[in-house]
Structure 1
């Protein structure tokens, strides 16, 4: 009967996901911004372009016939011109069937003209969200706990950002340090339950993260932030250094939490199966588990960092900048964050092994812990 229940749950999740996507695809009436669907596209002549660095591109124009989908002008058709480049770095080439956000240039009984603001992107985002949520729901209790923890952490994050804005950034590092503690406590309590493993994982996560931050802060202080280009942080209207450190706390927290949980849960299970195991054996086992986990975690951090900066690196290099300058302007701060996170990952291994030995040294782990 269990497999029938699982199949039923899968069908319910799929049907619910399809319903949600369908509703979002036809949610035009809830938008205040005018929406339009591109009915016909006429592509005009392309004009080749070459810059001083021999980069080849082209400019082209389109004439779009757009049907208005909401508001008092619903059903009317408006003609819009669009200019785009072949690279589409700062513009878009549109095609029939796409839904766009519009700004009317002049209105009366009929729309006289319009400008495209952007694509309506909520359908694509919704599809990704419902797939992720659906897969988590199929994992039942564990997946639901993960969804709840993500939602709670999102609420905390937005509250913290609002407080930071209200305080004009004067206490950004303190605010997000508190948020990091709350993130860890909420996530671990929902994933592991309120027990000894959760407490040890929380202590390890915080110790590993803030030890790495302490080392990073000490290095910055001793070197006077030499060589760090905080001015490359885009659109920052507050002191960039503490904001950078706050970003680093949140960036390293996830990897350290993942590693500490894996080590501690494994050691707790080992302790439960063999209550007579010595603290030295726990230490060695924890170190071996950590060696296995460290490599993939460090590579994941590096790949995320590379993916985040790849497009701007290519842009800088294609415009004649040296590798050194492109690295300093785009990758340097992210690379420093990755190094601090890597320090936290390495420090977490001995911290997790030692704390597990201390907390579980006298008796086996209780059944519920």
Structure 2
């Protein structure tokens, strides 16, 4: 009874500590304007000064609303000064948004005739981001304890590695994008598995299966591209690309499919480890067939998850294209074609990872493991 009460008290103190941590993080990000180089303004009043109704050639109707925003600058040499800016947004808020009192905005400041003028550059969103990160951390800790902490740590480390890879790619002007992000995929998988599973035989098998499925799927894609001479590949639909789009597309595909392939490989190999512990008399062939059956049951949902992510990513822009008189064919080519191809390549990697993971487990799982 005393032990149970001690556990309850520990859980209660942990929950209280996580709540206080969240409040501290949210308060800190709401008052961190001095950490930014760009001027930050906190909106004090927002007044609507005009509404204009619009209709285009395709009978799409919208309203353009103009606001007058008054606020105080929170950082920099002009800290404490009051400025007034205008903001125009559409009621659909597809490419813009309205601002309300309490919103924090990044500004572009300029002086004219000795007076300070400003234009809105973007919204400061770090409070929302900090809240989501804190909420994710709390759920991982409360539900998964130490394993959740390790999972969160692996995400943080991989995020830092990703930022470093982007900086390295920028410094080389995109010349080695495929090598940079290909190496990053290897490190991503290794770091995540090492932190979550540990440095052991199971981790190494999962790592090899993940990399094998991912690399083979890209190789299959390159062979198909070669045979079809890349007909139907609309690289021009990649937005804001300032470097060669083909290697960037391959790098994006490799990193994008890595997570699903790693998830599947981890499930198969960890399940086979548990099965071997329960039934040490299983032969290598029986382990291989069991792994294949496990893969059959999970690869369908994984492929569907990737497809749903792709649909969610292109849904809004596809609707805008269709609402503006574009055909289904053109909408598909400019918004969905590359995403569908990426989903297919990822699906190939998921399918190929099943026999690879099953074979590795059948050959290298030992009774002492």
**TM class by smaller structure:** over 0.9
1:351 — aligned with what? 356
2:152 — aligned with what? 147
Provide TM-score, normalisation by structure 1. Answer: 0.93
Is 1:305 matched up with 2:344?
no
1:264 — aligned with what? 269
Alpha-carbon deviation of 1:152?
2.2
1:364 — aligned with what? 367
1:123 — aligned with what? 127
Alpha-carbon deviation of 1:236?
1.9
* Contact 1:268 1:365 survives alignment (8 Å): no
Structure 1: distance between partners of 2:66 and 2:177: 46
Q: 4+ residue runs of structure 1 moved beyond 4 angstroms?
A: none
- With over 3 angstroms needed to count, the CA separation of the structure-2 counterparts of 1:365 and 1:187, relative to structure 1, is farther
The match for 1:50 among 51, 55, 59 is 55
2:3 — aligned with what? none
Is 1:64 matched up with 2:43?
no
1:82-161 counterparts in 2 under 5 A?
Answer: 82-106=87-111, 112-138=116-142, 139-161=144-166
Worse-superposed segment, 132-141 or 313-322? 132-141
Structure 1: distance between partners of 2:170 and 2:85: 38
Is 1:339 matched up with 2:344?
yes
Structure 2: distance between partners of 1:65 and 1:172: 44
1:90 alignment partner, SS class:
coil
Alpha-carbon deviation of 1:133?
2.1
Structure 2: distance between partners of 1:303 and 1:319: 24
1:323 — aligned with what? 328
Structure 2: distance between partners of 1:273 and 1:44: 73
Deviations 1:35-85 (A, max 9, x none): 222222221332211100110012222222222333444333222222222
Give the root-mean-square deviation of aligned CA atoms.
1.8
Structure 2: distance between partners of 1:29 and 1:165: 27
Structure 1: distance between partners of 2:189 and 2:247: 21
1:238 — aligned with what? 243
* Contact 1:229 1:329 survives alignment (8 Å): yes
- Give unpaired runs (5+ residues) of structure 2: 1-5
Structure 1: distance between partners of 2:269 and 2:312: 31
Worse-superposed segment, 66-75 or 240-249? 66-75
Provide TM-score, normalisation by structure 2. Answer: 0.93
- With over 3 angstroms needed to count, the CA separation of the structure-2 counterparts of 1:209 and 1:71, relative to structure 1, is closer
Structure 2: distance between partners of 1:84 and 1:90: 8
